Amino acid sequence: MLSSSPTPDTGTSSGPRVDSTTQLHRLTTESQNEASQGFDTKSALEIARIINQEDSKIAGAVKKALPEVAQVIDQVARSLRDGGRLIYVGAGSSGRIAALDSSECPPTYSTAPGQVQYIMAGGPKALASAVEVNEDSEELGQRDIARRRPTRKDVVVGISASGRTPYVVAAVAYARARGAHTAAVTCNHNTPLSEAADITIVAEVGPEVVSGSTRMKASTAQKMILNMITTGAMTRLGYVYENLMVNVHMQNSKLVERGIRILMRACSIDRETAVHTIKSAGRSVPVALVMLKAKVDKPEAVRRLAKSDGNVRLAIEDTVLEL
């Protein structure tokens, strides 16, 4: 389970209010970076070197948060297995990173569109156009998450580099008050978003090369973390076999070819056998893999996958998924 914090007030504010007058210079992500002093006087190569040097610090910052990332991975896996959802909430660059991660889960792991969702301040139009004014509204954050009707089966993850975006804080607090498991992904310690969530993943990447431009290091760290959460959860659910993307949804020629090659590698078979088996399995790589590995027919492979909640390895072994 996620670590516990005091339940937020469920009154009209549904959680801690964010003081919009908070001085940004106190946030690490808003501080000036000494390494990029005189940045506007540098050559193109010098600019690239400075950015590259700062980017090299990101993985180390994320590494410090791995225990918290692991907790969220397990909670997301449990929730998805039990029919719940992973719902990201973000604004600006953070919201766009959330949208990217959620939209890539169906083609990669054949998840249903509703299993991994995103809520973006300003709505879908904000993905391509700046609608930053919406991120200051707690009311809009509460309204947008309320429309998804979060329950105790769900995991709601708020993403904010500063950790103080009112829209995101209010949405997470609202979801938590209604029993959802909640997490925060931020790049600053001791923030309102941390107070609103059950657990906080902090990747303290330090000041940006261009002060306050959190689409750079902060967003890169957030992308890495969201990759870990969904990849880790899907792997725990058994949608990855060894290190192969066996739950791939074969909707175009590239993905069909990928499915064939996955089966060839996993089962050490030739292309002709792989193509024939995938056709026999109804164009399902998991069914084909179980058929070949367990030496069973299609109905038995389907039965085993249903018994294991889609976990390919457990279906091959004919055992039950436990998380």
Q: What pLDDT sits at residue 281?
A: 93
Summarize the confidence of residues 5-9 as an average pLDDT: 40
Given pLDDT bands bounded at 50, 70 and 90, which one contains residue 121? very high
Residue 220 sits in the same domain as residue 290:
no
Clarify whether 104 is annotated catalytic: yes
Residue 116 sits in the same domain as residue 147:
yes
> In angstroms, how far is the first alpha carbon of the chain from the final one?
11
CATH number of the domain bearing residue 104: 3.40.50.10490
Q: What pLDDT sits at residue 14?
A: 45
232-243 tens-digit pLDDT: 999 999 999 999
Residue keyed to tokens 């990669």: 108
Structural domain tally of the chain? 2
Residue 171 sits in the same domain as residue 117:
yes
Catalytic-labelled residue, pool 30, 54, 135, 204: 135
Q: Which of 236, 271, 303 is the last residue of a domain?
A: 236
Residue numbers of the domain that contains 274: 253-317
Instruction: Give me Rg for the CA atoms of the chain.
Output: 22
Q: Which residue has the higher pLDDT, 251 or 109?
A: 109
Residue 132 lies in a domain: yes
Cα-based distances in Å from 232 to 34, 76, 216:
36, 9, 24
pLDDT beyond 90 at 29: no
Residue 10 lies in a domain: no
Token code pair at residue 297: 């027919």
- Tell if the pTM clears 0.85, that is, is over it: yes
Residue 297 sits in the same domain as residue 215:
no
Residue 6 lies in a domain: no
Cα-based distances in Å from 40 to 7, 25, 36, 205, 231:
47, 21, 9, 22, 39
Q: What pLDDT sits at residue 7?
A: 39
Q: Which of 208, 236, 264 is the last residue of a domain?
A: 236
126-159 tens-digit pLDDT: 888 776 667 889 999 999 999 999 999 999 999 9
Given pLDDT bands bounded at 50, 70 and 90, which one contains residue 160? very high
Token code pair at residue 291: 């058929």
Summarize the confidence of residues 207-229 as an average pLDDT: 92
Q: What pLDDT sits at residue 131?
A: 66
Q: What pLDDT sits at residue 32?
A: 74
Residue 225 sits in the same domain as residue 82:
yes
Residue 67 sits in the same domain as residue 165:
yes
Residue 223 lies in a domain: yes
Q: What pLDDT sits at residue 212?
A: 82
